[in-house]
Amino acid sequence: AVVTAMVTLCLEDKTAFLSLGVEPSHSPLSINLKRKRDWLLDSKDDDLAELLIPDPEPVWVVEYLCGLKMKLKRQCVSLVLPEHHEVFTKLLEDSVVKRFLAWDKDLKVSDKYLLAMVIAYFSRAGLFAWQYRRIHFFLALYLANDMEEDNQAPKQDIFYFLYGKSYAQRPMFHKLRFQFVRSMGWRTWVSREECEEIQAYNPELWVWKRDRATLPQNSRTIEHEIQVCLRPLEYGHHL
């Protein structure tokens, strides 16, 4: 009975992956802790799913050593593999992805850190590299904006590039986004250090030049904010 239930869950999630635009695997079904299988996406047992999605174990590294004194720094082992970088680079050549990145000239939705988070999410979702499609790129990018951006309006333009002016597919997008987050075991936070580690894997990749700090309008904004902060001092006011 247990085996039958597991097979049923597997078959149900094949349908879920078809809705993601992914062809089901023809390889034999098996439970593998290293590779989270498809049926975890729609598993009704959240506790079981979380048990089968282990968090990366932290390691301790020496930050500095001075005589008999030693300072340790806690780090988490990254789950990002070369195959995640490869599929991300391949998706950058997708026609819709290329048009979207070219449109986002102000980098409000797709700066280098948000794009690095896409790779981090790919590594946590547990799919095989060949399973990732355009929709996964935008699901991950939308989620990265959810986590990091105060202004949530710009990310809505993702829908225009995916579906045009139609609103009919948006509920399905949000359903897939929920499934994507569940497949990651709800681990949506990505540290700046992990983003920089991801970028360092292939520092010459063109998207890592998408730095908001280098944009002219950002420089003017920072200069204006500094002037506003200093203005009370010019008039003799005390903070």
Least-confidence region, from 10-19, 89-98, 200-209? 10-19
Ranges of each domain in the chain: 2-51, 82-221
Which tokens in the block code for residue 126?
A: 């547990």
One-letter amino acid of 174? H
Confidence (pLDDT) at 235: 41
* Rounded-to-integer distance, Cα 190 and Cα 148, Å: 9
pTM: 0.65
> Burial letters for 8-39: b for 16+ Cβ neighbours within 10 Å, e otherwise?
ebbeebbebbeebebeeeeeeeeeeeeebbbb
Confidence (pLDDT) at 4: 45
In 3D, which of 16, 213, 211 has the Cα closest to residue 114? 211
In 3D, which of 62, 1, 14 has the Cα closest to residue 40? 14
Residue predicted with more confidence, 189 or 76 = 189
Q: Is the pLDDT of residue 222 over 70?
A: no
Confidence (pLDDT) at 70: 73
Confidence (pLDDT) at 164: 92
Section 164-193 average pLDDT: 95
Task: Dump pLDDT digits (tens) for 141-171.
Answer: 999 999 999 888 999 999 999 999 999 999 9
Confidence (pLDDT) at 218: 61
E-strand ranges in 9-132 read 58-66, 69-76
Confidence (pLDDT) at 230: 46
Section 21-28 average pLDDT: 42
Q: Are residues 197 and 148 in contact, defined by beta-carbon separation less than 8 angstroms? A: no
Q: Report the mean per-residue pLDDT for the chain.
A: 75
